[in-house]
């Protein structure tokens, strides 16, 4: 019987997508694992693979079509022995769980949260051969993964960003969504009437803008933020950086201040492991590695790619990885596992001349560091005399459910100590 190929959910926050390009045409034979289309999500352009063998009988959604809802049929696949005459008998897609609402997206993006089991027939788990191979290589339990393919089948995209976890681990995903206060809907027509007679351009919200709006609204409504502020003297770091860059010039490496900040935060999380934690609804998850997210501005929004195991990497390795992630973020080429997870984030607006600001926590992170510009300022030296130093302001936004005031203060002190003693970070 003909199989309907459905628009997949390629990210936890995806509700609809743009069918950017078909890589096959009607009449083409495809095998499981073949890439058949490119789909633009709210975050990136991703490849979509076939999960069954057959022939493309009919393309239902033309390439370039925007806002195609998840689970909408986009094509029909004919199995062996079937012809175009069988298209009228194509089955209706089996109802699947709706994609997560914005308020649930934060918990869904946590790599340690166990998603619900996929659709099964008896004890059988439906998965493509490629997905099974990847799952076996990564040690994943397929019964703990939700499939986004037809009839709940697990495909490559579902297992690429997943991490191994105990099969019996309970899923805490529903708690934050249930406790989130309902936001009063905005009356767009009423607001438009206020500006009748005034010239303006209406800009429809794309998927990324909708996701950013939903997540930041959720963050400010549900996370009890508190803020800690410190200044750091950068002169020792600037001198050390100049010395290192002179030595690394032949290798084509140039370290930025941001690279030192990433390293300082990663080491501080190791020095204070209780602060290396995330909020998971009905529990706190304390991470062992320092996975640090860094905000990257792109046209129309931002990404927070995650530098995993940042405490173990050299400054030059962090610099190269950050440049690569930032470049692919601006091209919207990041895979979901590259911008999900982490326990801590950095937002640096110093390059724009901003002296200080307060950043909004990206759930489920426990904290985010807002970094301002290094400014020449008069300071009182250790000898009591007035001198000039390069001073940078930092504000740590903290989730009080995860980190208490004293622990947050110790974390920020550790970051400052690392930045003011940069040579020690290489020890």
Residue 135: give its domain's CATH number: 2.40.50.100
The pLDDT, as a whole number, for residue 143 is: 78
- Same-domain check for residues 152 and 232: no
| Burial zone of 178 (CB within 10 Å; 0-12 exposed, 13-18 middle, 19+ buried) | exposed
The pLDDT, as a whole number, for residue 87 is: 66
Question: What is the C-alpha to C-alpha distance for residues 367 and 201, in angstroms, rounded to an integer?
Answer: 37
Q: Which of 160, 183, 200 is the last residue of a domain?
A: 160
Q: Is residue 175 part of a domain?
A: no
The pLDDT, as a whole number, for residue 119 is: 43
Q: Is residue 182 part of a domain?
A: no
- Same-domain check for residues 291 and 374: yes
Q: Is residue 53 part of a domain?
A: yes
Question: What is the C-alpha to C-alpha distance for residues 36 and 48, in angstroms, rounded to an integer?
Answer: 6
Tokens standing for 232? 């750091």
- Same-domain check for residues 261 and 340: yes
- Same-domain check for residues 137 and 276: no
Q: Is residue 191 part of a domain?
A: no
Tokens standing for 287? 């991470």
The pLDDT, as a whole number, for residue 57 is: 87
- The half-sphere exposure of 285 on its side-chain side, counting CA atoms within 13 A, is 24
Phi and psi at residue 201, in whole multiples of 5°? Answer: -115, 125
Query: Is the model's pTM score more than 0.75?
Result: no
Q: Which of 160, 190, 212 is the last residue of a domain?
A: 160
Q: Is residue 217 part of a domain?
A: no
Contact call for residues 258 and 287 (beta carbons, < 8 A): no
Task: For residue 413, say if its preceding peptide bond is cis, omega within 30 degrees of 0.
Answer: no
Tokens standing for 82? 């079937």
Phi and psi at residue 162, in whole multiples of 5°? Answer: -80, 155
- Same-domain check for residues 153 and 242: no
User: Which residue(s) pair with 35 in the sheet?
Assistant: 49
- Same-domain check for residues 412 and 300: yes
Could you please report the per-residue DSSP string of 88-150? GGPPPPPP-PPPPPHHHHHHHT-TTSPPPPPPEETTEEPB-HHHHHHHHHHT--GGGS---SG
Question: What is the C-alpha to C-alpha distance for residues 120 and 5, in angstroms, rounded to an integer?
Answer: 18
Q: Is residue 174 part of a domain?
A: no
Which of 114, 143, 147, 141 minimizes the C-alpha distance to 128? 147
- Same-domain check for residues 153 and 243: no
Which of 398, 393, 396 minimizes the C-alpha distance to 356? 393
Which of 51, 66, 49, 60 minimizes the C-alpha distance to 15? 66
Question: What is the C-alpha to C-alpha distance for residues 319 and 298, in angstroms, rounded to an integer?
Answer: 19
Distances from the Cα of 54 to the Cα of 6, 239, 298, angstroms = 15, 63, 39
- Same-domain check for residues 272 and 421: yes
Residue 190's contacts (CB-CB under 8 Å, 6 or more residues apart) are: none
Residue 3's contacts (CB-CB under 8 Å, 6 or more residues apart) are: 52, 54, 76, 77, 79, 90, 91, 150
End-to-end CA, the chain = 64
Question: What is the C-alpha to C-alpha distance for residues 373 and 350, in angstroms, rounded to an integer?
Answer: 4
Tokens standing for 250? 């032949």
Tokens standing for 370? 């807002």
The domain containing residue 255 runs over which residues? 224-426
- Same-domain check for residues 231 and 155: no
Question: What is the C-alpha to C-alpha distance for residues 410 and 307, in angstroms, rounded to an integer?
Answer: 23
Question: What is the C-alpha to C-alpha distance for residues 222 and 216, in angstroms, rounded to an integer?
Answer: 10
Tokens standing for 208? 């990324």
Contact call for residues 148 and 157 (beta carbons, < 8 A): yes
pLDDT in tens, the chain (427 residues): 678 899 888 776 678 888 888 999 888 888 888 889 988 876 677 888 888 888 898 899 998 888 888 889 999 988 776 766 666 544 444 444 444 444 343 333 434 334 444 444 445 677 776 777 788 777 788 777 877 776 677 877 777 777 665 544 444 444 444 454 555 677 888 888 899 889 989 888 887 888 888 888 889 999 999 999 999 999 999 999 999 999 999 999 999 999 999 999 999 999 999 999 999 999 999 999 999 999 999 888 889 999 999 999 999 999 999 999 999 999 888 888 899 999 999 999 999 999 999 999 999 999 999 999 999 999 998 888 999 999 999 999 999 999 999 999 999 999 999 999 999 998 7
- How remote is the C-alpha of 158 from its chain's centroid? 15
How many domains are contained in the chain? 2
DSSP 45: E
Q: Which of 114, 133, 160 is the last residue of a domain?
A: 160
Rounded to 5°, angle at Cα 273 from 277 and 219? 20
- Same-domain check for residues 93 and 240: no
- Same-domain check for residues 118 and 260: no
Contact call for residues 322 and 316 (beta carbons, < 8 A): no
Residue 299: give its domain's CATH number: 3.30.559.10
Q: Is residue 214 part of a domain?
A: no
Q: Is residue 188 part of a domain?
A: no
- Same-domain check for residues 283 and 413: yes
Annotated catalytic residues are 400
């Amino acid at each position: 019987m003909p199989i309907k190929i459905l628009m997949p959910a390629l990210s936890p926050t995806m509700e609809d997508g743009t069918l950017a390009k078909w890589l096959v045409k009607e009449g083409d034979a495809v095998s499981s694992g073949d890439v058949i289309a490119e789909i633009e999500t709210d975050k990136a352009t991703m490849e979509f693979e076939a999960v069954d063998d057959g022939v493309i009988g009919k393309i239902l959604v033309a390439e370039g079509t925007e806002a195609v809802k998840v689970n909408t049929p986009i094509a029909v696949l004919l199995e062996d022995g079937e012809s175009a005459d069988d298209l009228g008998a194509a089955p209706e897609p089996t109802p699947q769980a709706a994609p997560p609402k914005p308020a649930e997206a934060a918990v869904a993006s946590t790599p340690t949260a166990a998603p619900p089991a996929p659709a099964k027939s008896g004890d059988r788990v439906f998965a493509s051969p490629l997905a099974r191979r990847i799952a076996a290589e990564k040690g994943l339990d397929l019964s703990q993964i939700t499939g986004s393919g037809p009839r709940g089948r697990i495909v490559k995209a579902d297992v690429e960003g997943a991490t191994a976890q105990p099969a019996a681990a309970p899923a805490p995903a529903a708690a934050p969504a249930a406790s989130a206060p309902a936001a009063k809907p905005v009356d767009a027509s009423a607001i438009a009437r206020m500006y009748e007679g005034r010239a303006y351009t209406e800009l429809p919200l794309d998927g990324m803008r909708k996701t950013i709006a939903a997540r930041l609204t959720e963050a400010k409504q549900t996370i009890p933020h508190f803020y800690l502020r410190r200044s750091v003297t950068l002169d020792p770091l600037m001198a050390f950086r100049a010395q290192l860059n002179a030595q690394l010039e032949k290798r084509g490496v140039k370290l930025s201040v941001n690279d030192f900040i990433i390293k300082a935060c990663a080491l501080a999380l190791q020095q204070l492991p209780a602060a290396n934690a995330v909020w998971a609804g009905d529990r706190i998850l304390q991470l062992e590695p320092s996975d640090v997210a860094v905000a990257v501005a792109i046209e129309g929004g931002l990404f927070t790619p995650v530098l995993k195991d940042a405490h173990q990497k050299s400054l030059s390795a962090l610099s190269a990885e950050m440049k690569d992630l930032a470049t692919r973020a601006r091209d919207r080429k990041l895979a979901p596992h590259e911008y999900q997870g982490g326990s801590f984030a950095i937002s640096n607006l110093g390059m724009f001349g901003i002296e200080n600001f307060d950043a909004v926590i990206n759930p489920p992170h426990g904290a985010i560091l807002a970094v301002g510009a290094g400014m020449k300022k008069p300071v009182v030296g250790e000898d009591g005399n007035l001198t000039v130093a390069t001073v940078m302001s930092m504000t740590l936004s903290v989730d009080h459910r995860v980190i208490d005031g004293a622990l947050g203060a110790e974390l920020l002190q550790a970051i400052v100590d690392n930045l003011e003693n940069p040579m020690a970070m290489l020890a």
